Amino acid sequence: MARFVLVLVLLGACASSPATVAPAPPAPWQPWDAATFARASAERRPLLVHMAAAWCHWCHVMERETYTDPTVAALVRERFVPIRIDSDARPDLADRFADYAWPGTIILSSDAATILAAYRGFIPPERMVTLLSEALTTKPTTMVVDLEPSAPLDALPWVARQAELALADRWDPKYFGWGRPKRAPNGAALGYTCSRADPAARTRAAQLLAAQEATLDPVWGGFYQYSETPDWRRPHFEKLVDQQGWMLEGLALCIRHGVSPERARLQASAILRWLDGWMTTPEGLVMTAQDADLDEVSGRDFYARDDAGRRALGRVPWIDTHVYARENGLVLAGLAALVEATDDPMLRARGQRLADAARARWPTLPERDALVHLDDAAALGLGLARWAQVSGDAAARAAAEALWSAALTTFAGDGAALLESGRDPNAVGLFAVRRAPFDANVRMARCGRALGHEARADAILGAVATPSALVDQGSWLGDFLLATAKR
C-alpha cells in the first residue's frame, strides 16, 4: 500500500448519498519514497510519522489543530522530516504500528532504524511541543529482536485450546463481551464462541448478541467501530467495512448453530442495508469506511436523528471511497458464511455479484500503487475460497488457487510464515525488514484450508503461533480459533 497521500481524493460517491465532505487537509507532509529517507539521513533529522486513517475523527482534529499550530509547525519544519501514513493504504505499516492506534505518532531515528518514541491517540499542541523536544535529545540505540520458537505442528490443538481458554478468561460477565475498557463488536470471537458445543459458550454468544445492538445504527444499519465504555452505551461512530465483514461471518455462524438466530439475522440484514445503501460501487464492490462526525455536527447528534433528520443536513459523514481487496474479501467471506447458514437466494445473488466483480478487479495479486500486500491477498483469497466452497463457483475457486500459489511465492520468508508485502524499493531501516504479520497469516491459512491445503495451512499457523503473538491478540483470538477449528 504505498499510498501516502496528502489529501485523500474521492473516487466517487454512492449515487443515493447526499454529498460527502473530505477531512480537513493536513500539513505539507513529505512523500513516502527513497528521496525522503535519503534526505532525513543526510540532514540527520528524525522522521516524524503520523499514522492516520481517512475515517479517524481524532486524526482530523490533530491535523487541523496540532500540526497547524505555529510552534508545532515550526519545530516540525526545522528539526524533523514528517511523513503521513494512511493506515488503510498501507496494511503492512498499520500492522507494524497497531499498538499506537490512530492517530499514532512514531518518531524514528534519521536512518529509520530505531523508534525513538511512540505515542497513542490525540496529542494537543502544547503536549506535542514537549514530546518532540524530548525526542530530539533521545540517543538512538540498536534494536534487538528476539525470535521466539514457533509451535510444533503436533502441538497446534493444544495451542488452540490455550487460546480458547485465554479468550474465555477475558469474558466480561457483567456487560458481556471481551476487551476493557472499550467494547468493540468482535465477529470472529462471536462466531467461534457460538459454534462451540459448550452450553456456557453458547450462552455467552447469546448475551453478546443482545448487548452489542447498542453499537448498531438503527436507521441506516452497520455497526459502529466500538463503545468507549464496556456497557456498550457510548458508541464511537465510525463504521469500518472490514469490521462488517467479520460481523457477517460471526452472525452467520450464530444462525447456523441456532444461537439467537432471529436476532442474528436482523443484525446481518442491518449490516447489508448499510453496505448496499452507502458503501457499494456501481460494479458491486465495497468501499472502505465512513467517518464518525460532520465538522459542525457530532456523531452523537447526527446518528441520534432519523433518516429525514440526517438527510435534512444535506450531507453525511465523509465516506472513504477507496476500494481495496482486503475489505472486499472479508465481506465476501461473510456473505459465503451467510449463504451457507441460510441458503437465501438473494444473498447468493449478492455474493456472486461481489465474487465476479472482485475477480474482474483483481485478476492477479492485488496491488496498491505497485506494492502487493499479504493482507490483501489473504482476505481476497479467503473470500473467494469460501465462496467457491459454498456456491460451487469454479471460477472463484480457480482465482483463489491462483492467489494462494502466488502468495506462497511472493511473500515467502525463511520459514513457513509469509511476509507482510512484496519488496518495497523505498523501504529503509526498520521498514526494509519484512515481518510476518499474525492476522494476515491466519487468514492465509484459512484460505488454504478452504482449498484443501491442510498441511501447508497448519504450517503457517504453527509458524505464527508464538506465545507473545497469541498474548498480543488479546480479545482478538477468534480468527485464529476459527482457523484451527475442525468444522
- CATH at residue 404: 1.50.10.10
Say how many domains are in the chain.
2
Does residue 318 lie within any of the structural domains?
no
Question: What is d(CA 73, CA 78) in angstroms, rounded to the nearest whole number?
Answer: 9
Q: Are residues 65 and 92 in the same domain?
A: yes
Question: Among the three residues 107, 136, 165, which one is the final residue of a domain in this structure?
Answer: 136
Does residue 13 lie within any of the structural domains?
no
Q: Are residues 116 and 165 in the same domain?
A: no
Q: Are residues 115 and 261 in the same domain?
A: no
Does residue 295 lie within any of the structural domains?
no
Does residue 430 lie within any of the structural domains?
yes
Bridge partners of residue 286, in order along the sequence: 280
Give the predicted TM-score (pTM) of the model.
0.82
Reported as a single tens digit per residue, the pLDDT across 142-162 is 544 444 566 666 778 888 888
Q: Are residues 115 and 229 in the same domain?
A: no
> Do the Cβ atoms of 29 and 83 come closer than 8 Å?
yes
- Exposed/middle/buried for 486, CB within 10 Å: 0-12, 13-18, 19+? exposed
Reported as a single tens digit per residue, the pLDDT across 355-413 is 999 999 999 999 987 899 999 999 999 999 999 999 999 999 999 999 999 999 999 99
Q: Are residues 132 and 186 in the same domain?
A: no
Q: Are residues 382 and 328 in the same domain?
A: yes
Would you say residue 257 has pLDDT above 90? yes
Question: Among the three residues 105, 136, 167, which one is the final residue of a domain in this structure?
Answer: 136
CATH number of residue 107's parent domain: 3.40.30.10
Q: Are residues 132 and 157 in the same domain?
A: no
Q: Are residues 221 and 356 in the same domain?
A: yes
C-alpha cell at 179: 476487551
Does residue 3 lie within any of the structural domains?
no
Does residue 298 lie within any of the structural domains?
no
At a CB cut-off of 8 Å and minimum separation 6, what does 127 contact?
A: none
Tell me which residue range forms the domain holding 102.
19-136
Q: Are residues 119 and 218 in the same domain?
A: no
Does residue 449 lie within any of the structural domains?
yes
Question: Among the three residues 76, 108, 136, which one is the final residue of a domain in this structure?
Answer: 136
Q: Are residues 117 and 221 in the same domain?
A: no
Q: Are residues 130 and 40 in the same domain?
A: yes
At a CB cut-off of 8 Å and minimum separation 6, what does 353 contact?
A: 284
- Exposed/middle/buried for 277, CB within 10 Å: 0-12, 13-18, 19+? middle
Q: Are residues 277 and 378 in the same domain?
A: yes
Does residue 313 lie within any of the structural domains?
no
Would you say residue 487 has pLDDT above 70? no
> Residue 104: what are its φ and ψ, rounded to 5°?
-115, 140
Q: Helix %, strand %, coil % for the chain, to 5?
A: 50, 10, 40
Place 165 in a pLDDT band, splitting at 50, 70 and 90: confident
Single-letter amino acid code for the residue at 452: G
